[in-house]
Every structure is written in C-alpha cells, then in structure tokens.
Amino acid sequence: MTCIVTGAAGFIGSHLCRRLLKKGFSVIGIDSFTDFYPKWIKNKNILPLMRDKKFEFIAEDINSVGLTKLLNRSDYVFHLAAQAGVRTSWGHNFSVYTKNNIEATQKLLEAVKDTKIKKFIYASSSSVYGLCPELPISETSPLYPFSPYGVTKLAAEHLCYLYYKNFGLPLVSLRFFTVYGPGQRPDMAFHKFFKTIAEGEQISIFGDGKQTRDFTFIDDIIEANFASLENGKPGETYNIGGGTRKKLEDIIPIIEKICDKKAEINWEEKQKGDVLHTFANIEKARKDLNYSPKTQIEDGLKEEWTWLRLLYSS
Ligand SMILES: NC(=O)c1ccc[n+]([C@@H]2O[C@H](COP(=O)([O-])OP(=O)(O)OC[C@H]3O[C@@H](n4cnc5c(N)ncnc54)[C@H](O)[C@@H]3O)[C@@H](O)[C@H]2O)c1
C-alpha cells in the first residue's frame, strides 16, 4: 500500500511519514520547503526518512508538480501541506495562504477525482471555529473563523466536501487542535517559550494569559490520522483534540520546571486573529475512530524539550 503525504517535511507530515513507514506502507512525500521557517529544521525532519527504501521524496509545489502519475500508484492521500500560522496571515501575506491552502487543495482534489484513491484525509484546523460561542466545540458547532488563516482552512475543507458530494471522493477532514511535541514549528508558543527561556530572554505572552487551548500531543494526532484510514467515514469531519484544556498562564510553571529556569514575561497586547478559547468535544472521533488521546501535557512537554535541546545543540 502506498500513501502520498503532502507537507512531508513539516512538523506533522514528517511524523506521519515515519509512522507509515514503520507500519510497512510505502510513502511518497511531497514538500516544497516554503520559507515560513528555516529549511534546516525541515531537513532535520525529513533526512532520516530518506534512508528508507520505501520512502520517495518530491521537493516540489503541489501547484506545479505532475500529480496524476503519483496518484495512479498510490492508495491513500494525507493532505497536510499548508501555510500555517494565524498571526502572519494578515495583509499582503494572504496570497501565500490562498495559494498554498486553497489553490493547492483544489489542484490536488481535481487530480484525485479521476483516480482510485481509497481515502483522502485532509488536515483541517480548530481555526475554522474561530469565535464559536460554544464550549466544548463539537463538529456541528457554528463556524466563525477569526483569522485569514482560518478562512483558508475552512475554504479548503469546503472544497474537500464538495468533491466528496459531487464526485464521491472518499474524503475525511480532521480538525486538529493546537499540536505540540517533538518537531513543533518554531513559530508555535511552546517551541518559542522553551527556546527563549533557555536562552535567558524574555518570553512574550499576548493577552492576559487566561486564554485556554486544547493542546494535542503529536502522537495522538498521528493515531487519529491512522485510524481515519480504516474507520474515517467519507464526508465526515472529526475534532482531534488532546483532552487537555489549559490556560496559557498555567503552562509557564510546567515549562519552568522542565527546563529548570524562571521565565521572564513580557505581557503584550492580544494579537489580531487569536481566539480566547479552544476546547474540543471529541466524542465523534472516539466513537468512529476509537480515538483516545493518551499523552498528558507534562509528559508531552518533556518530550518536546528533549527534542529542542538536541535540535539547537547539533
Ligand atoms: N501544528 C498545529 O498545531 C496545527 C493545528 C491545526 C491544523 N494544522 C494543519 O496541519 C498541517 C500541518 O501543519 P504543521 O504544523 O506540520 O505545519 P508545517 O509548516 O510544519 O508543515 C507544512 C508543510 O507544507 C509544506 N507546503 C506548504 N505549501 C506547500 C505546497 N504548495 N506544496 C508543497 N508543500 C507545501 C511546507 O513547506 C511545510 O513543510 C497544516 O495543514 C496545518 O494547517 C496544524
């Protein structure tokens, strides 16, 4: 069985490739190495996988790569490639988001619709809920994206759904809630906190620190992707949260304890596009995917710290 993983050199994509290879799948990874964060970090994600004969890597943009040939020798598609990041999605940068999140998804879906792909799994985001007034948020809760990024993730999700409806493409959307752990992107809070505290610099917290997030450990996200191959129902959307809703201000002492250093905090104004709370109702994923997040935040953060020390010391 062969899987295509888009965004293979990224945080989540590289973990997924590793796991698929371990399970005996052949993997075709596609990634264009966008410049959102340094290429050397993505190389560290992907280079160890290159040793595996069952791994083929294509360093190209989904918008221009010849997809049909690749799809014709594949069984499954995990579509993770995207321009991530809420705060950078304003202003002239928005075109990067439309190109990589909407146009690339449309190109991929167009190519997939004429193939025999058995399952297409789209990496959506809790950002599609935005200012949703309900907590916990379930899949039927209203969608009010609050950032341009969220709008593009939702647009791509809608595209996926209409290719399912019109062409019967067996498509599943997974809405990930704030993912952390080894490999986490350098723009994300825990990565920045650990790195900045270790360097003895001030960390910035935007807002009053009382905002909450449903943090999801990377291994749990990978399990959900895996389970979706077999059990994800075509046309359905699933919340994939970690079952750990924490205030940002309560994370700081955990991080201080792990890296054995006191944080100096620079309190800054809440950023445009940041929502106050996210909290996933994961009952649907529990039922259909047998999804059950396993990692406690303290353990997951320890793993991220161990990885970060290696990353910046080598
Ligand atoms: N990390 C999170 O907390 C989180 C939460 C919700 C949803 N997601 C979604 O999960 C997916 C993976 O996120 P991540 O955190 O691993 O991000 P990432 O930036 O580490 O990985 C994305 C990868 O996609 C590649 N890429 C972007 N556009 C491309 C294109 N047009 N063609 C080929 N490659 C392209 C980038 O080079 C990058 O390596 C994204 O779709 C993101 O929206 C992530």
Cα–Cα distance for residue pair 242/180, rounded to 1 Å: 10
Choose among 155, 62, 149, 61: nearest CA to 102: 155
Contacts (Cβ under 8 Å, ≥6 apart) of 29? 4, 5, 8, 9, 13, 17, 46, 49, 55, 56, 57, 58
Q: Where are the domains of the chain?
A: 2-177+218-241+275-294
- Tens-place pLDDT, residues 82-129: 999 999 999 999 999 999 999 999 999 999 999 999 999 999 999 999
The sign of the dihedral angle between the CA atoms of 134, 139, 141, 144 is: positive
Per-residue tokens: 229: 């191959």
Q: How far is the CA of 262 from the centre of ligand 1 (A)?
A: 32
Query: Quick check: is 149 catalytic?
Result: yes
Q: How far is the CA of 86 from the centre of ligand 1 (A)?
A: 12
Q: What is the pTM of this model?
A: 0.98
| pLDDT of 42 | 98
- Specify whether the CB–CB gap between 236 and 172 falls below 8 A: yes
> Ligand 1 pocket by C-beta < 6 Å: which residues?
6-7, 9-13, 30-34, 36, 42, 61-63, 80-84, 100, 104, 123, 125, 153, 176, 178-179, 185
Name residues of the chain where pLDDT drops below 70: none
For atom 12 of ligand 1, the residue with the nearest CA is 80
Cα–Cα distance for residue pair 306/314, rounded to 1 Å: 13
Choose among 103, 140, 84, 106: nearest CA to 273: 84
Choose among 278, 189, 178, 281: nearest CA to 220: 178
Mutate to test the pocket of ligand 1, among 35, 43, 57, 125 (most ligand atoms within 8 A of CB): 125
Q: How far is the CA of 261 from the centre of ligand 1 (A)?
A: 31
List 122, 149, 164, 291, catalytic entry? 149
- Specify whether the CB–CB gap between 42 and 185 falls below 8 A: no
Task: Name the superfamily (CATH) of residues 2-177+218-241+275-294.
Answer: NAD(P)-binding Rossmann-like Domain (3.40.50.720)
| pLDDT of 244 | 77
- Tens-place pLDDT, residues 171-187: 999 999 999 999 999 99
Q: What amino acid is encoded at 157 in this protein?
A: E
Cα–Cα distance for residue pair 163/74, rounded to 1 Å: 19
Cα–Cα distance for residue pair 223/232, rounded to 1 Å: 12
Q: How far is the CA of 84 from the centre of ligand 1 (A)?
A: 6
| pLDDT of 243 | 85
Contacts (Cβ under 8 Å, ≥6 apart) of 186? 37, 38, 41, 192, 195
Per-residue tokens: 83: 């321009």
Q: What is the CA radius of gyration of the chain?
A: 19
Q: How far is the CA of 6 from the centre of ligand 1 (A)?
A: 8
For atom 15 of ligand 1, the residue with the nearest CA is 11
For the residues of 222-279, what is the DSSP string, one character each? HHHHHHHHHHPPTT-EEEE--SEEEEHHHHHHHHHHHHT-PPEEEEEPPPTT--SB--
What atom in ligand 1 is closest to the CA of residue 178? 3
Cα–Cα distance for residue pair 195/81, rounded to 1 Å: 25
